């Protein structure tokens, strides 16, 4: 006994161990990539850091949420009606409010039973991927996409397979590829519309073809609509739920992006399934089961939801759209001035744009990660390397920042690219093919 105490850690064998799946999952997150870039900043640079990598503009004065939403939360809090536990699926007034709110855009009416209140859209994604997990199941996810899907899939032990979004076709889903990679163990495909990271807004016809493909394959569609109605181009937002009678649709969303309050952690998972297939196949019971063993968004935030959804004035949304249209335009035109970057399309929705890096025009830049690391060190500008989203040698840039910071950040990026410009054009083997 005595000698064991003295030797302490070296001789004693403990029987526990951290979960390795978690190490694998979390390495994939956007947050871990951004943390790495933040750690690489030069502390001696007196300039302010310009964060063009994240999706949370709430700290910028131009992106403050609606006053009606703030009032709703303080009213709910001071009413003292929401100090207790909520029901695990969400409080009824909140479910009702979401059902009514989303039904405005649908050809049928959602019932409160179709709505499950979650801790942001993140928990809704966690719920559905946990629900769908069974041995050998696989899901199809977009590339470029949102790495939380991969991370959750790894943790739930579901295989994931990528289908491409086609930059030359307005980032539409490559539906031939979807059919080619699906097999009898495929359970679902996920789409994100309006798009993160590509800034597209899918047309009615394309969404319909997605639903038809899902029907043919006998799978459900997970539609991530966290950027719903954040559109500022020619295509209007069409919810995937419109096609819920062709194939069952699970919509996941939240108030995080449209109201710019991701810290409020209020989201939803909605079954758009007029034919009740999800119920019949146990998906609904399993969602309820998942929520029974997980925690809920704060009750007073749920209590505020109906007021947030009903009282926010149209001019708040109009102002946000105008701001995003302007910053998207500004970002796109500034990026076009940088010769080593190409944007296939001007963003028409969401908060991001993708730009392809042409490494042959740069000296001493290995790849997208190297670009982002050097950019953060030399210019105190953070952008997200595409590899985090499944596409090497691309960058994801957010335009949802204060316009003056956006100009400053993109000017620094331009200066960086000019400083690192190749003296004469090199021959570079296509980056994808390099070992
Ligand atoms: C931000 C984001 C989420 C997470 O939303 P929260 O409501 O903050 O949990 C989910 N999906 C996509 C595509 C996002 O960009």
Gap from CA of 127 to ligand 1 centroid (Å): 14
Exposed / middle / buried, residue 254 (Cβ in 10 Å: 0-12, 13-18, 19+): buried
**Residue 321: φ, ψ to 5°:** -60, -45
Q: How far apart are CA 141 and CA 188, in angstroms?
A: 9
Instruction: Please give the span between the terminal C-alpha atoms of the chain, in angstroms, as a whole number.
Output: 54
Render pLDDT for 394-409 as a digit per residue (tens, 0 to 9): 999 999 999 999 999 9
257 plus 400 within the same structural domain: no
| Domains: count for the chain | 2
283 plus 319 within the same structural domain: no
| CATH number for the domain that contains residue 253 | 3.40.640.10
Q: Are 310 and 97 in contact (CB under 8 A)?
A: yes
75 plus 218 within the same structural domain: yes
| Ligand 1 contact via 197 beta carbon (within 6 Å) | no
105 plus 198 within the same structural domain: yes
Q: Is residue 15 part of a domain?
A: no
pLDDT at residue 434 in the model:
44
73 plus 134 within the same structural domain: yes
Nearest CA owner, ligand 1 atom 14:
226
Q: Which of 311, 329, 356 is the last residue of a domain?
A: 311
Nearest CA owner, ligand 1 atom 8:
262
171 plus 305 within the same structural domain: yes
Q: Can you tell me whether residue 277 is helix, strand or coil?
A: helix
> 274 versus 435: which is more confidently predicted?
274
36 plus 93 within the same structural domain: no
Handedness of CA 387, 55, 27, 223 (dihedral sign): negative
232 plus 203 within the same structural domain: yes
pLDDT at residue 435 in the model:
41
Global confidence as pTM = 0.93
Q: Looking at ligand 1, which atom is closest to the CA of residue 262?
A: 8
Angle, to 10 degrees, between the axis of helix 314-336 and the axis of helix 403-419?
A: 10
Q: Which of 311, 327, 355 is the last residue of a domain?
A: 311
Q: Is residue 291 part of a domain?
A: yes
Gap from CA of 63 to ligand 1 centroid (Å): 17
Q: Is residue 342 part of a domain?
A: yes
pLDDT at residue 55 in the model:
86
Q: Is residue 146 part of a domain?
A: yes
pLDDT at residue 250 in the model:
98
| Ligand 1 contact via 254 beta carbon (within 6 Å) | yes
| CATH number for the domain that contains residue 43 | 3.90.1150.10
33 plus 58 within the same structural domain: yes
- The domain in which residue 268 lies consists of 67-311
Q: Which of 285, 311, 337 is the last residue of a domain?
A: 311
| Ligand 1 contact via 259 beta carbon (within 6 Å) | no
94 plus 225 within the same structural domain: yes
Q: Are 342 and 354 in contact (CB under 8 A)?
A: no
Q: Model confidence at 433, in pLDDT bands (50, 70, 90)?
A: very low
Render pLDDT for 93-144 as a digit per residue (tens, 0 to 9): 999 999 999 999 999 999 999 999 999 999 999 999 999 999 999 999 999 9
């Amino acid at each position: 006994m005595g000698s064991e105490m003295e030797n302490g850690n070296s001789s004693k064998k403990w029987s526990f161990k951290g979960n390795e799946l978690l190490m694998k999952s979390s390495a994939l997150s956007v947050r871990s990539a951004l943390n790495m870039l933040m750690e690489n900043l030069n502390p001696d640079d007196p300039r302010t850091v310009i964060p063009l990598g994240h999706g949370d503009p709430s700290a910028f004065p131009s992106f403050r949420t609606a006053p009606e939403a703030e009032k709703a939360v303080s009213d709910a809090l001071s009413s003292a009606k929401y100090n207790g536990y909520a029901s695990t699926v969400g409080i009824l007034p909140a479910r009702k409010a979401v059902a009514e709110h989303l039904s405005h855009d649908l050809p049928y009416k959602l019932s409160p039973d179709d709505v499950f209140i979650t801790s942001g859209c993140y928990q809704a994604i966690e719920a559905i991927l946990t629900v769908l997990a069974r041995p050998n199941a696989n899901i199809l996810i977009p590339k470029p996409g949102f790495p939380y899907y991969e991370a959750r899939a790894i943790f739930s032990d579901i295989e994931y397979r990528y289908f491409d979004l086609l930059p030359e076709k307005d980032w539409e889903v490559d539906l031939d590829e979807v059919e080619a990679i699906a097999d009898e163990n495929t359970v679902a495909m996920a789409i994100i519309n309006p798009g993160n990271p590509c800034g597209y807004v899918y047309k009615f016809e394309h969404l319909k073809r997605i639903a038809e493909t899902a029907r043919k394959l006998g799978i459900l569609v997970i539609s991530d609509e966290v950027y719903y109605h954040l559109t500022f181009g020619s295509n209007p937002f069409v919810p995937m739920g419109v096609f819920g009678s062709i194939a069952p649709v699970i919509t996941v969303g939240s108030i995080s992006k449209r109201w710019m309050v991701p810290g409020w952690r209020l989201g939803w998972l909605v079954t758009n399934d007029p034919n009740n297939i999800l119920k019949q196949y146990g998906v609904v019971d399993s969602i309820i089961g998942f929520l029974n063993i997980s925690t809920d968004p704060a009750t007073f935030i749920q209590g505020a939801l109906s007021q947030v959804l009903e009282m926010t004035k149209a001019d708040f949304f109009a102002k946000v759209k105008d701001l995003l249209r302007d910053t998207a335009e500004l970002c796109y035109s500034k990026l076009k001035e940088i010769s080593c970057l190409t944007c296939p399309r001007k963003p028409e929705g969401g908060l991001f744009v993708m730009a392809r890096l042409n490494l042959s025009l740069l000296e001493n830049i290995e790849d997208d990660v190297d670009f982002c690391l050097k950019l953060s060190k030399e210019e105190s500008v953070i952008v997200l390397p595409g590899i985090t989203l499944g596409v090497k040698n691309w960058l994801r840039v957010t335009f949802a920042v204060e316009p003056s910071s956006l100009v400053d950040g993109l000017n620094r990026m331009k200066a960086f690219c000019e400083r690192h410009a190749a003296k004469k054009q090199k021959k570079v083997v296509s980056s994808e093919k390099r070992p």
